[in-house]
Amino acid sequence: MAGNRNVNIVIIGSGIAGIAACHRLVNSGFTNVHILEATERSGGRIKTGRFGDKVIEIGANWIHGPSEENPVFCLARHYGLLDPEALTQENQAFDLGGETPWITNIFSSSGRKLSEKDIYPALEMFTVLLNESSQFQNQMGEPCTSVGDFIRSEVRKRCVEKWKDIDSATRSFQLCVISGMLKRECCVNGSHSLDEVGLGAFGQYKTFPGLDCTFPGGYEGLIANLMSELPDDIVKYNRPVRSVYWSNNEKQSSVMVECEDGERINADHVIVTVPLGYLKRHHSRLFHPPLPLHKLHSIQRLGFGTNNKIFVEFNEPWWDADCDVIQLVWEDEDALVDQVPDVKSSWIKKLFGFTVLKPTERYGHLLCGWIAGHESEYMETLPEQEVTDVVTQLVRRFTGNPSITPRRIQRSQWFQNPWTNGSYSYLATGCSQQDLENMMEPLPSNASKARPLQVLFAGEATHLCYFSTVHGALLTGWREADRLISHYSSTNPSRQYKANM
């Protein structure tokens, strides 16, 4: 088989991982590559939408760490998709070092507008603890199982000494601020609660330098550019795959893919890029024979949660002109909580705040609210008018201005999306790097030159340190393409773009 570029390769899923794999295979001379995509579009969780005449991101928002090592940044620059500011050396060299560069406006549930100074004790303590949470990875014996438990117990211990000169009302307020920060961190991780995020492996996630930037014309521009370099009919849309028949039998090396409409496609290799949320629900229907147990257990153990956006447009801003983030503080939450007591009546308390879409000339007065977890999943089920009413009450309460009325809202609904079943993955309690290694392991496990790879796995949840991101997903697509390329060649595959695998 060596050197055979005509083998039949089927890729399941036309998100960035599937497209990246396809791109690299086609560029390496493979002529018989196809993508089967369940929906009518490419991009998956990269999804740009319209809000009136404005471009909004329903899914992925930023290039996290836009600098030379980040392949998404390099591609976006190559295609001319970024604002000049994002390309500057200062922007690329920017290292957060645990600090947030964003200018924040803080509003409390009693209608007070506070200054950043008012929340400084909480901010300082939370930043230190989040940083410490990443330090247990290479040490044996983290003090508790979850990031939530660690932060909560350390705040309770440390506030006694650190805040001894602060009066009890102010101290209680600082604890409420930390509750808001826990909720924000749920959005970052895509988890329901930080109690579900493992402490031991928290440091597994790695970042690049660079100040996060957006695509002024929309993230889907990246997809469109990559697709334009592929043959027109390479993606078969509206073609959900029901099952993949692979074999543990030495004598059989090909794979058969069965679509929901009954069509059967024989392939030499299949690259599966469906989201972890989909795998959790459908692995038993998708794989015949079933996945090896260690792989299945990792699918079950790894976390995959929901993070949604609620876009809200106003006629006039009620935030400062230089404000980047609006943070909300509920003054009855000094118990360090990141979950609401009753989802139906108080789901909105899980919304940590809003980011301000900038520049104003492009977006007008447009905010993006962030809400994670089961509260977010419940929000998806509500009529849009009810979400609008609840958000209106929230803004009126926190500003103390009973006449503020949003012009319109729009929300994402990632949990209801049957091909995603949530937003992105995280290392849940009990998880380790081994789970990500199990995720990426091809089938059969003992594949060799003589006994070829049948099923390969890509997608954000298969990256060892950039899981949950677009660049992570892209790199896994390249990784699995390279696995096949090196299988069919004696020399190492060339790298088209500098990439940290």
| Residues near ligand 6YU (CB under 6 A) | 12-18, 36-39, 44-46, 59-62, 64, 188-189, 202, 205, 240-241, 273-275, 278, 307, 309, 412, 414, 419-420, 423-424, 426, 459-460, 468-471, 473
In this complex, which beta carbon is closest to ligand 6YU, that of residue 162 or of residue 282? 282
In this complex, which beta carbon is closest to ligand 6YU, that of residue 50 or of residue 449? 50
Residue 493: name the closest of 1, 74, 68, 5 by CA.
5
In this complex, which beta carbon is closest to ligand 6YU, that of residue 121 or of residue 203? 203
Please state, in angstroms and rounded to a whole number, the distance separating the CA atoms of residues 252 and 206. Answer: 40
Please state, in angstroms and rounded to a whole number, the distance separating the CA atoms of residues 24 and 20. Answer: 6
DSSP classification of residue 329: E
Token pair 């609008």 is found at 388
CB of residue 205 to ligand 6YU, shortest distance in Å: 4
Sheet holding 269-272, edge to edge: 235-236, 33-36, 9-12, 269-272, 455-457
In this complex, which beta carbon is closest to ligand 6YU, that of residue 219 or of residue 318? 219
Measured CA angle at 47 (ends 313, 53), to 5 deg: 40
CB of residue 432 to ligand 6YU, shortest distance in Å: 14
In this complex, which beta carbon is closest to ligand 6YU, that of residue 14 or of residue 48? 14
Beta bridge partners of 48: 57
**Ordered alpha helix ranges (H), 213-319:** 220-228, 276-286, 293-301
SS3 230: coil
AA letter at 183: K
In this complex, which beta carbon is closest to ligand 6YU, that of residue 286 or of residue 447? 286
Structure-block tokens of residue 355: 């980011």
Please state, in angstroms and rounded to a whole number, the distance separating the CA atoms of residues 66 and 92. Answer: 6
Beta strands in 64-150 (DSSP E): 104-108, 113-114
In this complex, which beta carbon is closest to ligand 6YU, that of residue 33 or of residue 60? 60
Q: Are 196 and 425 in contact (CB under 8 A)?
A: no
In this complex, which beta carbon is closest to ligand 6YU, that of residue 34 or of residue 349? 34
CB of residue 189 to ligand 6YU, shortest distance in Å: 5
CB of residue 307 to ligand 6YU, shortest distance in Å: 5
- Sort residue 352 into left (φ over 0), alpha (ψ -120 to 50) or beta: alpha
In this complex, which beta carbon is closest to ligand 6YU, that of residue 174 or of residue 469? 469
CB of residue 91 to ligand 6YU, shortest distance in Å: 16
Token pair 């958000």 is found at 391
Cα-based distances in Å from 242 to 36, 81, 85, 274, 286: 11, 36, 45, 12, 6
**Given 3-state DSSP classes, what are the helix, strand and coil percentages for the chain, each rounded to the nearest 5?**
35, 20, 45
DSSP classification of residue 310: E
In this complex, which beta carbon is closest to ligand 6YU, that of residue 72 or of residue 159? 72
Q: What is the end-to-end Cα distance of the chain in Å, rounded?
A: 27
Phi/psi for 253 (5° steps) reads -115, -10
CB of residue 40 to ligand 6YU, shortest distance in Å: 10
CB of residue 192 to ligand 6YU, shortest distance in Å: 14
CB of residue 203 to ligand 6YU, shortest distance in Å: 7
In this complex, which beta carbon is closest to ligand 6YU, that of residue 37 or of residue 268? 37
Token pair 């078969």 is found at 236
Measured CA angle at 126 (ends 322, 130), to 5 deg: 110
In this complex, which beta carbon is closest to ligand 6YU, that of residue 197 or of residue 336? 197
Structure-block tokens of residue 26: 């086609």
Please state, in angstroms and rounded to a whole number, the distance separating the CA atoms of residues 245 and 65. Answer: 39
CB of residue 37 to ligand 6YU, shortest distance in Å: 5
Q: Are 126 and 174 in contact (CB under 8 A)?
A: no
CB of residue 125 to ligand 6YU, shortest distance in Å: 18
In this complex, which beta carbon is closest to ligand 6YU, that of residue 220 or of residue 334? 220
CB of residue 70 to ligand 6YU, shortest distance in Å: 9
CB of residue 153 to ligand 6YU, shortest distance in Å: 19
Structure-block tokens of residue 110: 């009693």
CB of residue 260 to ligand 6YU, shortest distance in Å: 8
